Copies of this chain bind each other. A is one copy, B any other.
Amino acid sequence: MKEIRQPGAHSYVFSRYLEPIATVNPGETVAIYTRDAFEDRVTKDTDIPSKILGNYLNPQTGPIFVEGAEPGDTLAVHIMDIEPTRDWAVSAHLPNFGGLTATNTTRTLNEPLPEKVFIYKLEDNELTYNKRLKFPWRPFLGTIGTAPELEAISALTPADHGGNMDVPDTKPGNTVYLPVRVPGAYFFTGDCHAGQGDGELCGVALEITAKVTLKFELIKGKAIKWPRIESSTELMVVGSARPMEDAARIAYAELIDWMVELGWDQWEAYQALTQIGKLHVGNMVDTYYSLVAKIDKKYALVQD
């Protein structure tokens, strides 16, 4: 199996203006190595992130060129496995970043929150900081996406290309569908989390370095507007926007579109999601917030 490591500097934008670091073929399974969101710089409880961190966060591995991918296609990425490449994870409370703090856009005159680093030991599928802060290993890809047609988008931003969605549903066993907007798709991933609650409240999940096993497939001639996820039991769409209600509207509206593709009448799909849809918050901390709308396949795939 091909192993892909970033040669030189990692990427801090989802961008077609970068040189591809590797090529994959449709049908191919590869292992990709990722750094953590802090560039592996925060390593002990006494570190002060704001003094240690560089100008950019959330380094991505990529771009990876997908042979044969053309604008208007959809890239299907099967997440086969996520293995940690170290035995600890890090979280931290940062100044002006997070869900219960003033930020650079929700600007206030309040003093920033105190910084605090949490180094968790990873052992026996459990992450332990202390007796209360002890959580199971539930790994997923915080960031996964393709390059936009013209823009170069910060690796901190989730949008319709995927990116920094921070939704726990991009996990092993699930398939992520991404729009192809440039020849070769220009795939990026990174920011693996050993686990995370809904919302990623303080802004920093259980950040790890990882080896990620992905299988790529191409759906030719089928375009999607926003990232979709499929599990064995559910269909999902991720909407990212602010205010949060716009992320919710996008997620549900796109899920209706998906159901219409599957044969539903639009108004019956609207009605079905009213009664049986699921909607949870992925992140409420990034430059856009990400919500995941879901429907159980048991309802979505009913045959006439």
CB within 8 Å of B: which residues of A? Answer: 12-13, 15, 17, 56, 91, 93, 99-102, 105-114, 116, 118, 127, 129-135, 150-154, 195-206, 241-246, 248-250, 252-253, 256, 264, 266-268, 270-281, 284, 289, 291, 299, 302, 304
Let me know if B108 and A101 touch, CB within 8 A.
yes
Q: Which residue of B lies closest to A301 (CB)?
A: B132
Q: A107-B253, A281-B280 are in contact. Are A275 and B151 (CB under 8 A)?
A: no
Q: In the bound complex, what is the Cα–Cα distance between A200 and B279 (angstroms)?
A: 10
A100 and B272 CA atoms in complex are apart in Å by 13
Asked, given contacts A101-B110, A109-B101, whether A152 binds B154 with beta carbons under 8 Å apart, the answer is: no
In the complex, A100→B254 CA distance in Å? Answer: 11
A256 → chain B, closest Cβ, in Å? 8
* A13-B150, A93-B271, A110-B110 known; A284 vs B248 contact (CB < 8 Å): yes
Interfacial chain B residues near A200, Cβ < 8 Å: 274
Additional 19 contacts, C-beta under 8 A, given A105-B246, A107-B249, A135-B276: A99-B249, A100-B249, A100-B253, A100-B270, A105-B241, A106-B106, A108-B249, A109-B266, A110-B113, A133-B275, A150-B154, A151-B153, A198-B278, A199-B252, A205-B275, A242-B242, A278-B280, A279-B284, A280-B280
Q: Which residues of B contact A151 (CB under 8 A)?
A: 13, 151-154
> Smallest distance from the beta carbon of A129 to chain B beta carbons, Å?
8
**Shortest CB distance A164–B (Å):** 13
A244 and B248 contact, Cβ closer than 8 Å, known pairs A17-B152, A93-B271, A118-B271: yes
5 closest cross-chain pairs (CB), A and B:
A243-B243, A197-B277, A244-B244, A110-B110, A198-B279
Would you call B281 and A132 a contact (CB within 8 A)?
no
